[in-house]
Amino acid sequence: MSDEVRIGPYCTVADDVRFGNRVIIHGHANLYGCALDDDCTVGTFVEIQRDVTVGKRTRIQSHTFICSGVVIGDDVFIGHYVSFINDRHPTIPKTLAGTWRQEGIRVERGASIGTGAVLLCGIVIGEGAMIGAGSMVTKDVAPHTVVAGVPARVLRVLSEDERWNAPGAVQQKDSAL
């Protein structure tokens, strides 16, 4: 493990999990085959499966499920009870035969995903996009766009001043700079 990784009680963390520095995993989390970069925080009762990468300074709130094939960028906020889905047509016969097809999800830098959102497979959440609480995201979300609803629909595009990386916004600088 890297410097200052803190793992809470009752966690299951497989030997193949890769940690950056200053990662915090709160109690009752399950992690296996994934990679978490520097300064990430993972809430209680979170599961992160194989082949998931999580960028720097990302915060994952409690009770969230992140399935295989998800790529999460830097500075992403994921609310409570968020579910990522990686199989478009799941069935028992496909599972038993090993013929199901995984489709990934990519969440780009600075995106924010509200509590209880469900993200279906094969989509990209653009940089700085905002997903409303309880939304079901069935298609790509453009950068700096606010979506909400079931299915999620575009509400508006954030102005330059509202964007997470706007001048004057509070940000941590990358320690590699």
Catalytic residue among 63, 80, 89, 144: 89
Is residue 89 part of the annotated active site? The answer reads yes
Give the total residue count for the chain: 177
Q: Is 55 exposed, middle or buried (0-12, 13-18, 19+ CB in 10 A)?
A: buried
Q: Which of 140, 55, 59, 142 is nearest to 104 (CA)?
A: 140
* Alpha-carbon distances of 37 from 76, 118, 146, 159, 171, rounded to whole Å: 12, 24, 26, 29, 17
- Token couple for 65: 């499920």
Active site (catalytic) residues: 89
